[in-house]
Structure formats: structure tokens, C-alpha cells
């Protein structure tokens, strides 16, 4: 297939246009060249975006695909009038039917993030990231009562990226705690966690995948050996089963899938929905 | 306005449906009750979702708003046929026109994340998160050559959350490095950074906001005092100016806006677009 460029045009960061546009493009066996044009918030910038898009279209001899999330009607108007690409106006398509349904007008204000740096939700999110960093890998037992979620599992089972994702995306204070040989010998959960059972969620992983991941860091070590990984995973799973903790296997799952499942299962109180 | 519920229904995590639906809803002065129904990937689950949505609609006496990103045609068909909510079929709306434009069929495969845990891009993203964690706050000078971006700025100017976001969202290895009084006395960039000038990006912040943020951690300290914050910020800005480093003020910006601006300015080589 000949080269064809996809543009994501937004008056804000363009993250919504990209998330949505890429999800739609993932439905096609087609790897386009992608260009992000964020912060298009004036007539000048709109004209500049039109020139850029049309120029690329002429060079490629195919009209570019253009995903937009523009709320400024002047900017959108300029793009609509001048752009020779295939316009997918993601807001326009749904906002008008929603105005009718809700019986209220949309306000066409730019940017779901504008001034958000002063908002409580944003403040909480930054706090959650700091909390999750400070409580990564069992670094601190202080204030575990303040955690929304505490992930447990053997080393390299996926706890750290999942904790950070829960904090970054959902504003949750997500601690994580490694299960180590001492816990297996004692055959009990780490004592610091026993009073927080409701918030615990276990991550496990196939011993084969774990051995691969650990081998990247410490090749040919006892730590990374398949035999040791088998032992640790079996012990951790049996401990989680005995303790009645909910858990899942991360082996074939992305961070997003793991996080979504945890939210479904734990339903943390502080989560807005 | 009476209560009205918004559902996000997806055969995957629902993140696309949520990102997009919330961006559209942000155009209205209307705070709905929100419910996420992820992983609707069978006829059974589709019927269950229909029952849940219609039940809520009856209780509220208003038809629910339903944002869907369903690619399985059987599942979508069941929702379409049975759901009494206002359906916003985000994929269907754009996929068909795109099929015509591209001259190829979409494959209706579920989930942009399916099996992604095995992909190189996913592996790189996890590596980037680990890298950014290990290189947070100047913890390690090792392998700074491997960084895609190195953020600098005074303590609490926003470096850590921005680094983690760049890693999580864009798969970039983002180190960050604090500017401290010793650097100001020497009137030079930290020596470890001098060979990586192309990758440096500075974050600054208004002294008033910085003093507020630092006061939350260490109230009434010299560290958090407005006088000290004024001095540090002035020194840091003058150092970045002298060194010819690109920088921005984070005072009123969200992590997403900061990250998008950094990408626009630095255009890291490893970034796919």
C-alpha cells in the first residue's frame, strides 16, 4: 500500500484524538505515517495545519486521514473549509446529538486539562504518583492504611508498572509489596499486610515467562533459573489461595488489562467510578 | 438536572471509550454517574450489559448514554438490538467510511492490547518505565547515553511525574536530574549532563506555586520558603538560558500538556511519531 499520512489535530494535547484514532486504525492492516498537531488554538495555527496537511497530501498523491478533536468553532471551520484530507470530526459527530438528548448546549471550551493543574483531582493524582513511588517494592510500610490498593507478587511479576499506571491513570494510591523466600518459609503473608487484606491484590505469572524476564537482568543466576521461578510462583500462588486474596496472571496481559481487572475486582472506595 | 448514567462498554479495557466519552462529556456542564463495563467479549456478557443498562434507565426514567468501542459484530448487534440507551457507536461511525477510503476491510479483531505483552513495543515500554524509575531524581548517572530525554529543574518542578508519563505513554526512556545549590554556585550544568545537551529539557515553575508545593511536604522550612524558591527558580532559569536549553513553565500545565510540548520541541529519535 502506498504511503498515506494520518494527522491528529487538536486544540489541546491531542491525546484524545490519538487514543481514539489509533484504536480505529488498529482495525486495519495498515501502518500509516502519523503526525501529531497539538495546541491548534488560533486561526493562524489552523491555517498552518491546513497548509501542512494539504502539502503532504499533494506529495503522497492520496488524501491524508485527519482525526480532529476541535471545539473552537472558528478553528474547526478553517480546517473544514481548507483541508483536503478525509476529515473525521470526532467531537462534532457526537456533540450535536448529545445537545439534543441532554437539552443543554455544549460550551466549546478548549481542553479538558485547562487549568486542571489547580484542581483537586489533579492534585490527588500527583499525590497518588508520589505515594506509589514511595511505596514501590515494599520500600515503606508507613501509611499503608492510606493505600487504595496494595499489589503483591514475586519479584518481576508486573507490580511496579501496574502500580504506577493505577496512580497515573486513575489517581489511586497503589503500593506494592514483593513476596520473598522468607514469606514462603513463614507460610504467611508479610506481617505488615495482614491488616489490609481488603486492599490486597495478587499478581502471578507463568514460571517460564518470569525466568525470561529475570534472565534479561541477571542471566544465568539462581534468581532467574526456571527451577527457582517455578518454586517461587508455586509458593506465591498457594499463599494467595490460602489467604483468600484475589489474583490474576499477568503472563499475556498488558498493564491496561491488569489495571482494569483490578479495578473491577477490588472496586476501591476512592475511585470516582 | 436529574441523575443520568453514562456507560462505557467495550470488548477490551474500555480505555478508548472512556478517554473519548469523557472528553465529549467535558463539553457539557453535566456531571453524570459513570459506569465502566469492560471485557464484553461474548453474547452472554452482551446480554448482561443490556440488562444492566436498561435496568438503570428504568430506575432513572432517562435513557442512559452508552459509549461503545465494540468490534465484535455479534456483541455489537446484541447491544444495538436490546439497549434502550442512547448508543454512541464510536467505532462503527468511523470504520465504515474508512473502509471505503482505504479500499480494505477492517478485521474486527478485539483489543488493541491483545497479546501485546509479547510485542517489542510493549517490551520497550516496560523497559522505559524501569529506566525512568532507576534514573529518577539523578539517582544514577549510568547509561545516561541511553536516555531519550533528560529533564532538569529544581526540586518539585514536575520532573518525576512527567518522566514517568513519557515512559508509560510514549515508551521513552526519560531520566530526570535535579538542579541544586551546588550547581548554582558552580554556575554550570551538572557535569554528568554536559555531553547530553541535545536531550536536555528544562522545567521551571513560579516561585509562589513552588513554595506552596514544597510547604505541603516541609512546612515552615527554609527549603519551602518563598525567598528560597525565588532564588532557586531565578538561578535555574538563568542557567538554562545561558546553556541554551529549551524549557517551559509547569505552573499551570498538566503532565499531559508538559509531555506534549516536550515531544514537540525535542522530537526524540526513538519516538515513532
Q: Do B66 and B130 reside in the same domain of the chain?
A: no
- Residues 6+ away with beta carbon under 8 Å from A109: A71, B27
Find the CB nearest B129 among A161, A251, A260: A161
B54, part of any domain: yes
Residue B231 has pLDDT above 80, yes or no: yes
Taking residues A134-145, report their average pLDDT.
Answer: 89
Taking residues B57-69, report their average pLDDT.
Answer: 95
DSSP 8-state symbol, A135: T
Residues of A in contact with B95 (CB under 8 A): 24, 27
B188 Cβ under 8 Å from any chain A Cβ? no
Check residue B90 and give its pLDDT: 87
Query: B110 and B41 in contact (C-beta within 8 Å)?
Result: yes
A93, part of any domain: yes
B106 Cβ under 8 Å from any chain A Cβ? yes
| Residue A123, Cβ density class (10 Å: 0-12 exposed, 13-18 middle, ≥19 buried) | middle
A272, part of any domain: no
Q: How many domains does chain B have?
A: 2
Check residue A117 and give its pLDDT: 60
Q: Do A96 and A134 reside in the same domain of the chain?
A: no
CA atoms within 13 A on the CB side of A138: 13
A107, part of any domain: no
The 10s digit of each residue's pLDDT in A100-122 is 999 999 988 765 444 556 688 88
Query: A164 and B129 in contact (C-beta within 8 Å)?
Result: yes
What is residue B8's three-state secondary structure? strand
Find the CB nearest B252 among A34, A117, A168: A117
Closest C-alpha among B138, B146, B132 to residue B268: B146
A267 Cβ under 8 Å from any chain B Cβ? no
Q: Do A12 and A124 reside in the same domain of the chain?
A: no
Please report which confidence band the pLDDT of residue B75 belongs to, taking 50, 70 and 90 as the band edges. very high
Q: Do B142 and B80 reside in the same domain of the chain?
A: no
Domain boundary among B102, B131, B153: B102
B271, part of any domain: no
Domain boundary among B102, B133, B156: B102
**Enclosing domain of residue B136:** 116-266
Q: Which residue of A lies nearest to B129 if distances are taken between CA atoms?
A: A161
Q: Any known ligand binding at B158?
A: yes
How far is it, in rounded angstroms, from Cα B66 to Cα B17? 10
Please report which confidence band the pLDDT of residue A261 belongs to, taking 50, 70 and 90 as the band edges. very high
What is the predicted ipTM? 0.86
Domain boundary among B102, B136, B155: B102
Query: A5 and A67 in contact (C-beta within 8 Å)?
Result: no
The 10s digit of each residue's pLDDT in A52-75 is 999 999 999 999 999 999 999 999
How far is it, in rounded angstroms, from Cα A144 to Cα B77? 45
How far is it, in rounded angstroms, from Cα B66 to Cα B43? 18
Closest C-alpha among A247, A221, A183 to residue A213: A221
Pairs across A and B, CB distance < 8 A: 185
Please report which confidence band the pLDDT of residue B113 belongs to, taking 50, 70 and 90 as the band edges. very low
Query: A14 and A69 in contact (C-beta within 8 Å)?
Result: yes
Q: Do B22 and B87 reside in the same domain of the chain?
A: yes
Count of all residues that appear for chain B in the document: 273
B75, part of any domain: yes
Check residue A90 and give its pLDDT: 87
Residue with cell 529544581: B154
What is residue B183's three-state secondary structure? helix
Check residue A115 and give its pLDDT: 55
Please report which confidence band the pLDDT of residue B122 belongs to, taking 50, 70 and 90 as the band edges. confident
Best mean pLDDT range from A117-121, A189-193, B12-16, B128-132 = B128-132
Q: How close B190 gets to chain A, by Cα (Å)?
A: 25
Q: Do A248 and A128 reside in the same domain of the chain?
A: yes
A121 Cβ under 8 Å from any chain B Cβ? no
A273, part of any domain: no
Q: How close B222 gets to chain A, by Cα (Å)?
A: 22
Q: Judge: B113–A71 Cβ closer than 8 Å, yes or no.
A: no
Residue A211 has pLDDT above 50, yes or no: yes
B164 Cβ under 8 Å from any chain A Cβ? yes
Find the CB nearest A95 among B1, B24, B94: B24
How far is it, in rounded angstroms, from Cα A113 to Cα B259? 13
Residue B31 has pLDDT above 90, yes or no: no
Query: B199 and B152 in contact (C-beta within 8 Å)?
Result: no
B2 Cβ under 8 Å from any chain A Cβ? no
Q: Judge: A24–B126 Cβ closer than 8 Å, yes or no.
A: no
B36-59 burial, b at 16+ Cβ within 10 Å, e below that, comes to bbbbbbeeebbeebbebbbebbee
Q: Do A37 and A68 reside in the same domain of the chain?
A: yes
DSSP 8-state symbol, A61: T
Please report which confidence band the pLDDT of residue B121 belongs to, taking 50, 70 and 90 as the band edges. confident
A165 Cβ under 8 Å from any chain B Cβ? yes
Residue B2 has pLDDT above 70, yes or no: no
Check residue A113 and give its pLDDT: 47
Q: Which residue of A lies nearest to B34 if distances are taken between CA atoms?
A: A273
Residue A57's Cα: distance from chain center in Å? 32
A12-38 burial, b at 16+ Cβ within 10 Å, e below that, comes to bbbbbbbbbbbbbbbbbeeebebbbbb
Residue B215 has pLDDT above 50, yes or no: yes
Residue B112 has pLDDT above 80, yes or no: no
A110 Cβ under 8 Å from any chain B Cβ? no
Least confident of A90-104, A197-211, B40-54, B148-162: A90-104
- Rg of chain A, C-alpha, whole Å: 24
CATH number at residue A248: 3.40.50
What percent of chain B has a predicted confidence (pLDDT) above 70? Answer: 95
Q: Do B120 and B220 reside in the same domain of the chain?
A: yes
Q: Do A169 and A258 reside in the same domain of the chain?
A: yes
| Beta-strand relationship, B33-37 and A5-10 | unpaired
Q: Do B93 and B145 reside in the same domain of the chain?
A: no
A17, part of any domain: yes
Distance separating the N- and C-terminal Cα atoms of chain A? 43
Q: Do A97 and A121 reside in the same domain of the chain?
A: no
Please report which confidence band the pLDDT of residue B91 belongs to, taking 50, 70 and 90 as the band edges. confident
Q: Judge: B113–A161 Cβ closer than 8 Å, yes or no.
A: no
The grid coordinates listed for A22 are: 489509533
Q: Do B158 and B24 reside in the same domain of the chain?
A: no
Taking residues B62-77, report their average pLDDT.
Answer: 94
Amino acid at each position: 500500500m502506498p504511503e498515506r499520512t494520518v494527522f491528529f489535530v487538536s486544540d489541546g494535547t491531542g491525546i484524545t484524538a490519538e487514543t481514539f484514532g489509533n484504536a480505529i486504525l488498529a482495525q486495519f492492516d495498515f501502518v500509516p505515517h502519523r503526525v501529531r498537531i497539538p495546541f491548534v488554538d488560533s486561526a493562524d495555527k489552523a491555517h498552518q495545519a491546513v497548509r501542512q496537511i494539504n502539502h503532504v497530501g499533494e506529495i503522497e498523491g492520496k488524501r491524508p486521514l485527519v482525526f480532529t478533536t476541535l471545539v473552537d468553532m472558528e478553528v474547526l471551520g478553517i480546517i473544514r473549509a481548507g483541508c483536503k484530507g478525509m476529515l473525521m470530526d470526532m467531537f462534532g459527530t457526537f456533540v450535536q446529538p448529545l445537545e439534543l438528548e441532554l437539552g443543554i448546549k455544549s460550551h466549546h471550551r478548549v481542553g479538558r486539562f485547562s487549568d486542571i493543574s489547580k484542581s483537586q483531582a489533579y492534585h490527588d493524582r500527583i499525590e497518588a504518583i508520589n505515594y506509589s513511588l514511595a511505596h514501590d517494592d515494599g520500600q515503606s510500610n508507613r501509611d499503608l492504611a492510606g493505600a487504595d490498593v496494595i499489589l503483591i507478587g514475586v519479584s518481576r511479576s508486573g507490580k511496579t508498572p501496574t502500580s504506577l499506571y493505577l496512580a497515573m491513570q486513575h489517581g489511586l494510591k497503589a503500593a506494592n509489596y514483593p513476596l520473598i523466600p522468607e514469606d514462603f518459609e513463614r507460610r504467611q503473608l508479610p506481617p505488615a499486610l495482614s491488616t489490609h487484606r481488603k486492599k490486597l491484590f495478587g499478581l502471578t505469572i507463568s514460571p517460564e515467562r518470569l525466568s525470561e524476564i529475570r534472565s534479561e537482568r541477571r542471566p544465568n543466576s539462581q534468581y532467574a533459573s526456571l527451577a527457582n521461578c517455578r518454586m517461587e510462583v508455586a509458593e506465591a500462588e498457594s499463599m494467595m489461595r490460602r489467604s483468600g486474596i484475589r489474583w490474576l496472571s499477568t503472563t499475556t496481559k498488558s498493564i491496561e488489562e491488569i489495571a482494569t481487572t483490578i479495578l473491577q475486582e477490588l472496586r476501591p472506595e476512592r475511585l470516582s467510578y
